[in-house]
Structure 1
Amino acid sequence: MINTPFSRMFTRFFAALVATVALLTASIAHAQLRVEIAGVGANQIPIAIAAFGNESIAPQQVSAIIKGDLTRSGYFKVIDTSTVLTENSPVDLADWKTRGANAVVVGSVTKLPDGRFDVKYRLFDTVKGGQLSSLALASQPQFLRVAAHKVADDIYEKLTGIPGIFATRIAYVTRNGREYHLEVADSDGQGTQVALRSNEPIISPSWSPDGTKVAYVSFENKKPIVYVQNLVTRQRTVAANYKGSNSAPSWSPDGSKLAVALSRDGMTQVYVVNTDGTGLRRLSNSSGIDTEPQFSADGQSIYFTSDRSGGPQIYKMSANGGEARRVTFTGSYNISPRISADGKTLAYISRRDGKFQLYMLDLTNGQEQRLSDTVKDESPSFSPNGKYLLYATQSGGRGSLAVVSTDGRVRQTLTMQAGDIQEPTWGPFMK
């Protein structure tokens, strides 16, 4: 991981790459992420997940993936059981309730004649004494994990009222020696795929709203250039290649434009450009450095970092440009704004007492909360349901990834056996 002095803040905006579920032609990386979990939610839901009928025929154990997802969330207490129960088995809800389970999951896996696997499941509520949900998902063998994640998403939503994010993907950059990889993985760190290899730095990957493209900055031509890459067709388009720095791409909610930071006219300022590189328009006009633009979820505003007040702080302006309003006031160094989907919460990195740490600001009441206890954090990214934050930090002297729930109770660390992990970004819900 690179140190983060003020100059580093603006250097890292020279890149953004993309990754998606549709990387069917990408090669599988050798190193999987290892996930360590700490902490639990305020009110854990006790749930029994039976072994699925006939799941030994499948390349992945579906019930184990579901258990792992729900455990990792921190909001479920999985009750150990080796019982095999299919969606057609009689389920004694009163008995499961006496065993301490508020919910029971049963299901099966069947291999179809065309080679796909049919995953069926049912969710029962032992408290109210009835069925809450059921699903039937047919998937190719290589997408069986996705089917299991979708089941876990359904369970999470039915029991919490919040959409699950287990079937989403994350993207990040790994560095091993002089080689950089842009990699994509399931939200649990499994199923890693390489989207891009380069001997030059890759930074700031940014997912398109539909999860099929990535905007990124690549130094492969010995200067920072913003690209948009279709991850299905592998086609790349240059979105910004002007003199000076081209950096920090951020997608508009409708996927038609990018906010970028360019130094083409002198000091780095915020611009907007169509994803094909046309229609460049300048938005900010300050005597300082304006960078790290991020669209709000409704597309009406842009948050960005500027040193116009003497040190880096976060500002907000209309997506059409114009006067900017300062947002952060606590601390002398606040960078890397990320706004939640509901527009109510701002995440950012703040330097205080020599530590770079993850903070969250409630924009409705001005209450600030520190979410990390590490000292070299960067690149925060909200989960699409707004309940978790992914960010880069250091673990054992190497770059690693971390996930923390927005209430600060649940923490995960994602590490790999060799190399540094940097520049994470959490992908959108996939349709």
Structure 2
Amino acid sequence: MISAPPSQLSPSRRQWLAAAALAAAAPAMAQFRVEITGVGLTQMPVAVPPLRGEEASPQKISQIVLADLERSGRFIGVDASGAQLDETSRPDLSQWRERKADALSVGSITQLADGRWDTRFRLWDVVRGQDLSGQSYTVTRADLRLVAHRIADYIYEKLTGERGIFSTRIAYVTKVGNRYSLWVADADGENAQSALSSPEPIISPAWSPSGTQLAYVSFESRKPVVYVHDIATGRRRLIANFRGSNSAPAWAPDGRTLAVTLSRDGGSQLYTISSSGGEPTRLMQSAGIDTEPIYSSDGMIYFVSDRGGSPQIYRVGANGGNPERITFQGNYNISPAISPDGQWLAYIARVNGAFKLHVMDLKSHTTNAITDTTEDESPSFAPNGKLIVYATRQQGKEMLMTTTLDGKIKARLAGQSGDIREPAWGPFQKQ
């Protein structure tokens, strides 16, 4: 069994023992600032001058687009000062080559008579001298940030061949005074909307594959209970409120099933249950603690267990069976997250008393620690598998960070004061 004085338990460990809720969370902030650090090996220089008319816009579209691109680790901004271009311009690409830009995005934003905003842009391949086309959007003020993220998605996909994740969303938990809140925000942490507020802890948010629902654990009944919450309507349904603890929900790829950790039959064990509720099915028999399940895209369940004497990560089929141990390095590995393509495992390992984010190539089992912080927790992959969001602490403050899989480019999503916890990155959104 796993035991230690509460003062020695890391935040992640407190969570996987279902006690983290009492210390989880941090104050919500209306605005985040993005601080990007590190240098990648193959960053593409891109110029994003202000859109024509942007000075009158309530959102600085070009700044949001450039911050998105730089946070991905694939791009670096080029000085675009003095440029006065829009989507109808035929830019002198030789001037942009002199500025060392490989790509150029230009456009305009205009407020219409009905109050909506017409936003247009065009992308140029400076190296090849090609017009890569563009898009236009007519939206209300409330959707201008989403437009900026979609422009960044378009640029990212055109220049890398991979789908961008900037218009996706993250969920996280905060605490203000004695009140806990579950938030849904843009992938850069901005534009946060409260999904739930409670005087009791909320932990373990998990997105449905459709991105329309969140499962989470609430302590409002003075015990951990699993709910599923509809993002659009705010309605929720009770999934698991059995005797003992009900925790750590994870969605199956088809969205019809949840894996949960229940102690109804003694000890923390893994079960599956319909996403509409009902009677759970036990996956395995174990004398130890089994918890923190997460599905991979092929339907396997990764989880944490101390069945071998210390917390390690295992995997098992969706219908149970004999689990396979995955982590062997070190004696404390928890909080698994699987990349959408099934190639990478992110997890938290305790190394010399420090809790660090690690990434394992599941084919070669090569493992790397990719942070230099010491209190990392709750990793979650972006839906294109190229970034990880996680919670950590620096200089006494809890915060969210994103990192590339090699750890070379990190972005801090931090408010002016307070702490935030338990991030979960949502799936791709329908256009």
TM-score, normalised to structure 1, is 0.92
SS of 2:420's equivalent in the other structure is: strand
Is the 2:53–2:110 contact (alpha carbons within 8 Å) kept by the matching residues of 1? Answer: yes
> Residues 127-142 of structure 1: matches in 2 within 5 Å?
127-142=127-142
The 1:164/1:8 distance shift into structure 2, 3 A limit, reads closer
> Residues 29-108 of structure 1: matches in 2 within 5 Å?
31-81=30-80, 82-108=82-108
The 1:250/1:12 distance shift into structure 2, 3 A limit, reads farther
Partner of 1:9: 16
Report which stretch shifted further, 148-157 or 115-124.
Answer: 115-124
> Residues 215-364 of structure 1: matches in 2 within 5 Å?
215-299=215-299, 301-364=300-363
Q: Percent of aligned pairs with the same residue?
A: 51
Is the 1:31–1:417 contact (alpha carbons within 8 Å) kept by the matching residues of 2? Answer: no
C-alpha deviation, 1:56, in angstroms: 3.1
Is the 1:179–1:199 contact (alpha carbons within 8 Å) kept by the matching residues of 2? Answer: yes
Q: What amino acid is the match of 1:341?
A: P
Is the 2:205–2:216 contact (alpha carbons within 8 Å) kept by the matching residues of 1? Answer: yes
Is the 2:21–2:201 contact (alpha carbons within 8 Å) kept by the matching residues of 1? Answer: no
Is the 1:38–1:410 contact (alpha carbons within 8 Å) kept by the matching residues of 2? Answer: yes
Deviations 1:328-381 (A, max 9, x none): 111111111111000011111111211111111101111001011111111111
Once residues 323 and 245 of structure 1 are traced to their aligned partners in structure 2, the CA distance between those partners, rounded to angstroms, is 24
CA RMSD of aligned residues (A): 2.0
C-alpha deviation, 1:14, in angstroms: 7.2
| 1:209 equivalenced with 2:209 (yes/no) | yes
Is the 1:176–1:420 contact (alpha carbons within 8 Å) kept by the matching residues of 2? Answer: no
Q: What amino acid is the match of 1:316?
A: R
Q: What amino acid is the match of 2:146?
A: V
Once residues 5 and 215 of structure 1 are traced to their aligned partners in structure 2, the CA distance between those partners, rounded to angstroms, is 18
TM-score, normalised to structure 2, is 0.92
SS of 1:123's equivalent in the other structure is: strand
Q: What amino acid is the match of 2:131?
A: Q
Q: What amino acid is the match of 2:259?
A: A
Partner of 2:4: none
Is the 1:176–1:418 contact (alpha carbons within 8 Å) kept by the matching residues of 2? Answer: no
C-alpha deviation, 1:95, in angstroms: 2.6
Report which stretch shifted further, 215-224 or 94-103.
Answer: 94-103
Is the 2:146–2:167 contact (alpha carbons within 8 Å) kept by the matching residues of 1? Answer: yes
The 1:428/1:8 distance shift into structure 2, 3 A limit, reads closer
Once residues 419 and 103 of structure 1 are traced to their aligned partners in structure 2, the CA distance between those partners, rounded to angstroms, is 38
Is the 2:32–2:189 contact (alpha carbons within 8 Å) kept by the matching residues of 1? Answer: yes
Is the 1:393–1:399 contact (alpha carbons within 8 Å) kept by the matching residues of 2? Answer: yes
Q: What amino acid is the match of 1:133?
A: S
| 1:120 equivalenced with 2:123 (yes/no) | no
Task: Count how many residue pairs are aligned between Structure 1 and Structure 2.
Answer: 418
C-alpha deviation, 1:55, in angstroms: 2.5
Report which stretch shifted further, 309-318 or 53-62.
Answer: 53-62
Partner of 1:21: none
C-alpha deviation, 1:419, in angstroms: 2.7
C-alpha deviation, 1:214, in angstroms: 0.5
The 1:69/1:186 distance shift into structure 2, 3 A limit, reads same
| 1:111 equivalenced with 2:125 (yes/no) | no
Partner of 2:416: 417
Q: What amino acid is the match of 1:11?
A: A
SS of 1:11's equivalent in the other structure is: coil
SS of 2:58's equivalent in the other structure is: coil
C-alpha deviation, 1:5, in angstroms: 8.0
Is the 1:13–1:217 contact (alpha carbons within 8 Å) kept by the matching residues of 2? Answer: no
Structure 1: state its 5+ residue gaps. Answer: 16-28
Once residues 183 and 234 of structure 1 are traced to their aligned partners in structure 2, the CA distance between those partners, rounded to angstroms, is 12
Q: What amino acid is the match of 1:415?
A: A
Q: What amino acid is the match of 2:290?
A: D
